[in-house]
Amino acid sequence: MIVVMRKDAEKNDLEGVIERIEGVGLDVHLSEGVEHTIVGVVGDVRHIRPEDLQVLPGVLRVVRIMHPFKLASREFQGETTEIVLNGCSIGGSAVTVMAGPCAVEDRETLLETARGVRAAGAQVLRGGAFKPRTSPYSFQGLGEEGLQIMAEAREETGLLIVTEVLSPGDVELVSGYADILQIGARNMQNYSLLHEVGASDRPVLLKRGMMSSVEEWLMAAEYVLSGGNHRVMLCERGIRTFEGYTRNTLDLSAVPLVKSLSHLPVVVDPSHGTGRSDLVPAMSRAAVAAGADGLLVEVHPRPEKALSDGPQSLTIPGFEALMEGLDPVARSIDRSVAVAGCTG
């Protein structure tokens, strides 16, 4: 249930609504927008009737939310959440591009990649310092050394950093380096981890599980939101189907669907979504056309030598070409592609 306050509501009107809600043992979540303040009623709403709140001074309307995800619901917040980091916006009118290698392999390669994607227009550097792999014998990442290399790349290029955190015990460590915490597909329902990042002050990029429904994905986001961290973005990265020609099936229908259900910004990962570098440019353009707020693209200077996910990684020239092709698509739907240097 949400309570929408009138634009001219006084402070004591808002306090009266909160007192009534908390008086029956329910919790309150506030969202202060440009036009209205919205009071989210969290808990078993059978303890209070909408008409009990509708009559209070300053209340415009009371809306019941029927979805199991409450704080993530579009009913709870009509405006799309815009996450602003050092001048870089995710969820605004411009499409944000995050790019970099699947894994941080060494200092030279990471810096070369960072310089290349920055010059091509990316705003965020992606790269895994901790890598969950299907095989225990595959490259598992450099750990904190990888985080330190990414921090060096940020210092030189001004790019923000998004990197994956694997366990609750690593959240503090990764938060000390990263601007955005990524929850990978395999950890989408790691509830201990979701609780921990929910208590963090870092924005969260929540990837959809490879066999998860849209509702399960949004419920995972609800865990983070209910922990007090409201800066959550959702990442569609493909789901497993019977199709064998691609690594996963990139579910682009999920983009407009989720945006109709939720106010959270949606990012698309066409690299994991297809597993094929030759499909990444077309799927990137399609994602933007579908309404994605951002892209997460794997780029490596020499994909044939990459220690992780080389077949789905673009070269730096390939990424440059991708960026050139995005802007016409974005402009066709009255958007733009964000420019590099948003950390100024």
**pLDDT at residue number 344:** 36
pLDDT at site 133: 59
What's the gap between Cα 212 and its chain centre?
16
Tokens 């199709």 sit at which residue?
Answer: 243
- Using 50 as the pLDDT threshold, list the residues of the chain that sit under it: 343-344
Phi and psi at residue 161, to the nearest 5°: -120, 130
Query: What confidence score (pLDDT) does residue 160 get?
Result: 97
What pLDDT was estimated at residue 76? 83
pLDDT at residue number 137? 56
Whether 297 and 314 have beta carbons less than 8 Å apart is answered as yes
Q: Residue 171: helix, strand or coil by DSSP?
A: helix
Q: Which of 69, 120, 36, 336 is nearest to 226 (CA)?
A: 69
Bridge partners, residue 85, by sequence: 88
User: In whole angstroms, what is the distance from residue 328 CA to residue 324 CA?
Assistant: 8
C-alpha span between 103 and 110 (Å, rounded): 9
Architecture of domain 2-63: 2-Layer Sandwich (3.30)
Q: What CATH class has 83-337?
A: alpha beta
pLDDT, tens digit (0-9, with 9 covering 90-100), for 156-213 = 999 999 999 999 999 999 999 999 999 999 999 999 999 999 999 999 999 999 999 9
Distance (Å, whole) CA 100 – CA 102: 7
Looking at this protein, which amino acid is placed at residue 308? S
Assess contact for 276 and 309: CB atoms under 8 A. Answer: no
Residue 80 CB-density burial (10 A; 0-12 exposed, 13-18 middle, 19+ buried):
middle
For residue 130, report the phi and psi dihedrals to the nearest 5 degrees. -115, 120
Spatial CA neighbour of 192 closest among 169, 209, 226: 169
Residue 274 is encoded by which pair of tokens? Answer: 């297809």
Calpha distance 267→287 (Å, rounded): 9
* Length of the chain (residues): 344
How far, in Å, CA of 285 to CA of 131, rounded?
A: 28
Record the tokens describing residue 19, joined without a space: 């007192």
Instruction: Read off φ and ψ for residue 183, nearest 5 degrees.
Output: -105, 115
> Cα dist. 171→53, 128, 155, 184, 233 in Å?
39, 14, 21, 13, 17
118: left (phi over 0), alpha (psi -120 to 50) or beta: alpha
Each domain of the chain, given as residue ranges in start order, spans: 2-63, 83-337
Query: What DSSP assignment string belongs to 22-63?
Result: HTTT-EEEEEE-SS-EEEEEES-GGGS-HHHHHTSTTEEEEE
203 three-state secondary structure: coil
- 3: part of which helix (H) or strand (E)? strand 2-5
